[in-house]
């Protein structure tokens, strides 16, 4: 792994913004799509103990791998559970015995370890033209930018307050805009009594080991789709998010470490975790820190917050999920405005590739879902085809790339 910026001395005042960025990414993840894990557990008929073990294993695994990768690389490597995979399991676990599903998780995780060790995925990522990558990221994040304002019709007071506060803070103290709306929004919700915490009690989660079973049916119906969905819906866009913000860490160690972590946590219920995309964009851009060499702190902070949630299992997950959906979508959208704007500017910068980048942007924003594969993959595929046709051929190799996706708020086809 290599850092994209020379490190500068770390001061106490450098910590607040990346730590808040890490916290927001965690809130958005738990408040957005973690409900899919509970839905899948219910479909599978899991006991409260097994469900708590799933929460523990995926949270601890995500936290440790993200913290480790960010610390070692000195880059904001944000990890998350696979959202499209969780959505897939809501259906798959209805017909697959849980022990066989755990065996499928292990096979899928082992495949990611082998892919990371082979180095093939990194070579593929570096072939993607920067304009196409930027258009992909802008298209995927567009729904979150729109969501920041779409909640106005449902909750005009809360959403209007957050938007107004964001604009005012941007005008007078841009560095504290996202921090400000987070604190202000939480204070407003508590004042209005809209977050019910009285019935919650901190309880430690306990991992429960499940003896894996292996079958051809689970291999074909769970392991293979789980691998493909996570690769195209999480790893591909997640790596492009890092490239978009100038970070050069190789995909190989990320695949290997997250795959190994998934392998170890699978017997305790974790379905898959991987590099994040949309929640990663909250931590990789200027909102996390003006100095790129300080943004790795956001990755470490996010990892620590995930571990904290994992220790207390369902309790803290329930706190995040108790936050109103409009608060989550508005907070995520406003935190991503800078990334959306920068991605659009990069996508349209080169006149020669502008049309292909625009096609990628629109195809990604359409969030096409075919053959069980989400919009990030199809947007990228359409964009690359347009680039090849309009420009004659794909470039041999690009050192800088741009965008992509990770889904977090409850939107159709979302990724992490």
pLDDT per residue over 242-256, tens digit each? Answer: 887 888 888 899 999
pLDDT at res. 277: 77
pLDDT at res. 411: 41
Q: In terms of pLDDT, which residue wins out, 2 or 79?
A: 79
- The mean pLDDT value of the chain amounts to 81
> Which secondary structure element, helix H or strand E, spans residue 355, and what is its range?
helix 354-365
List pLDDT tens digits, range 134-167.
888 788 778 778 888 888 888 898 899 999 998 9
pLDDT at res. 146: 86
pLDDT at res. 266: 94
> Which secondary structure element, helix H or strand E, spans residue 22, and what is its range?
helix 16-32
When mean pLDDT is compared across 32-36, 46-50, 219-223, 306-310, the lowest value belongs to 32-36
List pLDDT tens digits, range 80-96.
888 777 877 877 888 88
Say if residue 322's pLDDT is above 80.
Answer: no
pLDDT at res. 201: 64
Most confident of 196-205, 325-334, 380-389: 380-389
Average pLDDT of the segment spanning 374-401? 73
Given CA atoms 297, 303, 307, 313 in this order, what sign does their dihedral have?
Answer: positive
Torsion of Cα atoms, 352 then 375 then 140 then 61, to 10°:
-130
Residues across the chain: 416
When mean pLDDT is compared across 42-56, 86-100, 114-128, 189-203, the lowest value belongs to 189-203
Confidence category of residue 406, pLDDT binned at 50, 70, 90: very low
Q: In terms of pLDDT, which residue wins out, 69 or 178?
A: 69
pLDDT at res. 405: 41
Q: In terms of pLDDT, which residue wins out, 1 or 364?
A: 364
Say if residue 239's pLDDT is above 60.
Answer: yes
3-state secondary structure of 98: helix
pLDDT at res. 10: 63
CB 416 within 8 A of CB 274: yes
pLDDT at res. 215: 87
Give the integer Cα–Cα distance in Å for 12 and 117.
38
Say if residue 399's pLDDT is above 70.
Answer: no
Average pLDDT of the segment spanning 2-8? 49
Q: What percent of the chain has pLDDT over 70?
A: 85
274 has which bridge partners?
A: 80
Q: Looking at residue 293, what DSSP letter applies?
A: G
Say if residue 314's pLDDT is above 50.
Answer: yes
> Which secondary structure element, helix H or strand E, spans residue 141, and what is its range?
helix 130-150
Confidence category of residue 3, pLDDT binned at 50, 70, 90: very low
Say if residue 379's pLDDT is above 80.
Answer: yes
List pLDDT tens digits, range 31-71.
666 767 877 887 788 887 888 889 899 999 999 999 999 99
pLDDT at res. 320: 67
pLDDT at res. 412: 41
pLDDT at res. 125: 74
Say if residue 7's pLDDT is above 80.
Answer: no
Say if residue 261's pLDDT is above 80.
Answer: yes
Residues 6+ apart with CB under 8 A from 113: 255, 256, 259, 260, 263
Q: In terms of pLDDT, which residue wins out, 145 or 321?
A: 145
Say if residue 402's pLDDT is above 90.
Answer: no
CB 128 within 8 A of CB 400: no
Please give the backbone phi and psi of residue 67, each rounded to the nearest 5 degrees, phi first.
-60, -45
pLDDT at res. 8: 59
Structure tokens at 71: 């610390």
pLDDT at res. 253: 92
3-state secondary structure of 275: strand
């Amino acid at each position: 792994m290599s850092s994209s910026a020379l490190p500068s001395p770390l001061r106490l005042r450098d910590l607040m913004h990346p730590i808040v960025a890490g916290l927001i990414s965690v809130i958005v993840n738990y408040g957005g799509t973690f409900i899919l894990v509970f839905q899948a557990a219910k479909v599978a008929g899991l006991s409260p103990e097994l469900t708590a073990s799933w929460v523990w294993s995926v949270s601890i695994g995500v936290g440790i791998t993200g913290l480790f990768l960010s610390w070692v690389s000195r880059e904001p490597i944000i990890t998350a559970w696979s959202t499209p995979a969780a959505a897939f399991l809501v259906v798959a676990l209805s017909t697959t015995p849980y022990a066989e599903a755990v065996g499928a998780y292990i096979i899928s995780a082992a495949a990611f370890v082998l892919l990371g060790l082979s180095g093939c995925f990194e070579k593929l990522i570096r072939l993607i033209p920067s304009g196409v990558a930027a258009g992909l990221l802008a298209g995927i994040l567009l729904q979150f930018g729109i969501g920041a304002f779409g909640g106005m019709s449902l909750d005009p007071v809360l959403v209007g307050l957050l938007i107004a506060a964001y604009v005012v803070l941007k005008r007078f103290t841009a560095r504290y805009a996202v921090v400000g709306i987070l604190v202000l929004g939480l204070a407003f919700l508590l004042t209005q009594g809209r977050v019910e915490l009285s019935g919650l009690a901190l309880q430690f989660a306990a991992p429960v080991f499940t003896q894996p079973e292996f079958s051809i049916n689970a291999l074909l119906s769970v392991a293979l789709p789980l691998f493909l969905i996570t690769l195209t819906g999480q790893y591909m866009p997640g790596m492009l998010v890092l490239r978009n913000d100038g970070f050069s860490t190789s995909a190989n160690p990320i695949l290997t470490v997250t795959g190994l972590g998934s392998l170890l946590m699978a017997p305790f219920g974790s379905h898959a975790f991987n590099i994040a995309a949309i929640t990663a964009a909250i931590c990789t851009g200027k909102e996390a820190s003006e100095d790129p060499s300080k943004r790795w702190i956001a990755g470490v902070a996010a990892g620590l917050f995930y571990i904290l949630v994992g220790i207390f299992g369902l309790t803290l997950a329930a706190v995040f999920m108790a936050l109103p959906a409009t608060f989550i979508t508005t907070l995520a959208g406003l935190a991503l405005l800078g990334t959306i704007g920068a991605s659009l500017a990069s996508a349209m910068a080169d006149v020669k590739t502008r049309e292909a980048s625009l096609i990628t942007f629109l195809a990604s924003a359409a969030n096409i879902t075919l053959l069980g594969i989400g919009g990030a993959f199809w947007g990228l595929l359409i964009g690359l085809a347009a680039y090849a046709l309009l420009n004659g051929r794909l470039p041999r190799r690009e050192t800088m790339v741009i965008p992509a996706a990770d889904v977090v708020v409850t939107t159709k086809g979302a990724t992490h």
